Structure 1
Amino acid sequence: MSARTAFCALALACLGATQPAEFDDPDPSQAAWAERCEAWDDWNKPGPAFRIYGNSWYVGTCGISAILIAGSDGHVLIDGGTVKGADLIAANIAAAGFDIRDVKVILFSHEHDDHVGGLAKLQELSGAVVLSSKGARTTMETGGPSSDDPQRAIANRFDPVRVAGIAEDNMAVQVGDLSIIGWETPGHTPGAMSWQWQARSAHGNPAMTINYIDSLSPISADEYRFSDHPAYVAQFRAGLERMKSIGCGILVTPHPSASAMEVRIAQGGLVEDRSACFEYVDAAGKRLDARLAKEADSGEAAE
């Protein structure tokens, strides 16, 4: 079942979504966020909501991203922060001028508690459906990491989430006039996904592509060796190559500082940068190469 089919099959009423007052891009609140938030800040430190571009808003905390994409027939939320962060995200949605009950679909980047720990609470507050990647569904429904997660031994449990359907690889999740394309990018976790959509400007300016690319970092528990899992490494590399080829507009990442968001805002705001996604993904690939080389040098990789 496609994500579109899974969503439409629920026959949700998505009418009369609230919209905030319009003003020219860029949002001056971007600068307020950069002044409030520091590099690699606390996951649950409050930061002001701001418009990324057009109908796309940052509603996360200083340390963890959450993205609201507003549509005339209902909104989409990507990522839900930690358990404590859920209330901060809900408050930011309201501060941006939206009603959380108009959020109809919730998506996520990857299935770790710092990004999905708050989804159960946000699902309860909004009444939205949650769509999961195939690789993350069991984790989302049980609240526990999968057996093939590199961080399984150190990953925290979180409140299980009711999953309504699957967001299929390279297919659009559609909510009214919104269309968000998801790609499977396993590596940091087995069920990780990255997202891309066209953000419509508030005042008729050209639409802008936004890329929400997952963490992509080869982090694991101490006993895990990527070299022992060649099929997983191959999937990891395939996802990296796909992200290099999809085209880039404004780059946003689940951890804001992973893509230097606070620096970019301070230097003039979040703007289109066609090389940013490639550079971000290329750096992740180099970290994976370094990790594999380290394992080989230590003699701990499987023979």
Structure 2
Amino acid sequence: MRAKLLFAIALAGLLAAPLPAVSRPVTASQTLQRACAGRDGWSDPAPPQRIFANTWYVGTCGISAVLVTSPQGHVLIDAGPAEAADTVAHNIVAAGFRLADVRWIVMSHEHIDHAGGLAALKRMTGARLAALPAAARVLESGQVPADDPQSAWLKPFPAVAVDQRLRDGETLAVGPLRLTVHATPGHAPGSTSWTWTSCGQRADCRAMAYVDSVTALAAPGWRFADHPAYVAAFRASLTRIAGLPCTLLMTPHPGSSDLFERLAKGPPPPAPGACRAYAAQGRAKLDEALAKEAKAQQRPAP
């Protein structure tokens, strides 16, 4: 009951009240890695932690949500599943920011584990939602269509109105913030990646890259080999990801980029090859998926 009351206060924009312990920012002695040890569920609560300068991790132990902040307003990237929306909202407030100052919400891809909480967080913050057209059509229906390789696995999620349809390469501006959207279809048809610059003290800057999943996954009955245009787009996305401005990589599943492990050592140093290595992993997985499909086709019928 007390936690619900405190959350209601936070929603009203009052930041003075204490929050549940799980939502307090981590300290030097309690990193996200330690807080989430042995837990990587989509809704397992995690504390917020600064990633670098004005960029904060506000997601769960298993699913990323990233807040990019400025005195003129903030941008939230990804929302987690519907069950994690309260944790993301708590973490934004616990990190010292007002929910009402979130101006835009954007996303990585249109699956329940990343988009399920969008509708709730949009209501909580009053923010506008922006997405590429391929993702927007799914967000507004809450139903993943058959052209998604994983559609047979995915449950519906709460539909949410998209306020702005973005063009590939467009820049989303909030005060001094400039986030560039990159269409990187493959893991999902609407897969989206984001880049921006965050600067700390003494002009110590990072080329921040929140890059969507690059894992080639298909539910039974969907074969990549049957969709050559999709495979070609996937390969083009991987080439594009390899060339993104990228010295600090983040991903929708934090474990895919070892984010917690890197944060446990302090502010991550520049890693110019991070996106190239991540794209190479994606190419290897796609080649592996195609090889498995070809091998399965060669097996004699029982």
For normalisation by structure 2, the TM-score amounts to 0.87
How big is the shift at 1:149?
A: 0.4
- Residue 74 of structure 1 corresponds to 73
Letter of the 1:284 partner, please give it.
G
SS in 2 for 1:153: helix
How big is the shift at 1:247?
A: 2.9
Letter of the 2:225 partner, please give it.
S
| Partner Cα distance (2:77, 2:29) in 1 | 19
Letter of the 1:292 partner, please give it.
L
Letter of the 2:285 partner, please give it.
R
- Residue 118 of structure 2 corresponds to 119
CA contact (8 A) 2:131 2:165 kept: yes
How big is the shift at 1:274?
A: 0.9
User: What per-residue deviation string (whole Å, max 9, x for no partner) do you get for residues 223-257 of structure 1?
Assistant: 11000000001110001000111232111100000
Distance 1:30 1:234, change over 3 A: farther
RMSD: 1.8
Q: What percentage of residue pairs aligned between the two structures are identical?
A: 41
User: Which has the higher relative contact order, 1 or 2, with Cα contacts under 8 A spaced 6 or more apart?
Assistant: 1
CA contact (8 A) 1:29 1:51 kept: no
- Residue 234 of structure 1 corresponds to 232
Distance 1:104 1:300, change over 3 A: farther
How big is the shift at 1:265?
A: 2.8
- Residue 187 of structure 1 corresponds to 186
- Residue 23 of structure 2 corresponds to none
Letter of the 2:85 partner, please give it.
A
Q: List alignment gaps of at least 5 residues for structure 1.
A: 1-17, 19-26
User: What per-residue deviation string (whole Å, max 9, x for no partner) do you get for residues 119-174 of structure 1?
Assistant: 10000011111001111111100100022100111111111111011121112111
How big is the shift at 1:38?
A: 3.3
User: What per-residue deviation string (whole Å, max 9, x for no partner) do you get for residues 174-205 of structure 1?
Assistant: 1121100111111110001011100132x443
Q: What pairs with 1:1-303 in structure 2 (closer than 5 Å)?
A: 28=27, 31-38=30-37, 41-201=40-200, 203-299=201-297
How big is the shift at 1:270?
A: 2.6
Letter of the 1:199 partner, please give it.
S
| Partner Cα distance (2:208, 2:102) in 1 | 19
| Partner Cα distance (2:298, 2:218) in 1 | 14
Distance 1:29 1:215, change over 3 A: farther
Distance 1:217 1:87, change over 3 A: same
Runs of 4+ in 1 over 3 A off after TM superposition: 27-31, 266-269
User: What per-residue deviation string (whole Å, max 9, x for no partner) do you get for residues 88-115 of structure 1?
Assistant: 0000000000001100100000000100
SS in 1 for 2:220: coil
SS in 2 for 1:173: strand
CA contact (8 A) 1:101 1:126 kept: yes
| Partner Cα distance (1:36, 1:173) in 2 | 33
Q: List alignment gaps of at least 5 residues for structure 2.
A: 1-14, 16-25
| Partner Cα distance (2:186, 2:235) in 1 | 8
- Residue 22 of structure 2 corresponds to none
Letter of the 1:169 partner, please give it.
D
| Partner Cα distance (2:296, 2:158) in 1 | 38
Distance 1:266 1:65, change over 3 A: same
Give the number of equivalent residue pairs: 275
| Partner Cα distance (1:251, 1:50) in 2 | 16
| Partner Cα distance (1:43, 1:133) in 2 | 24
- Residue 20 of structure 2 corresponds to none
Distance 1:30 1:147, change over 3 A: farther
How big is the shift at 1:29?
A: 5.3
How big is the shift at 1:262?
A: 2.5
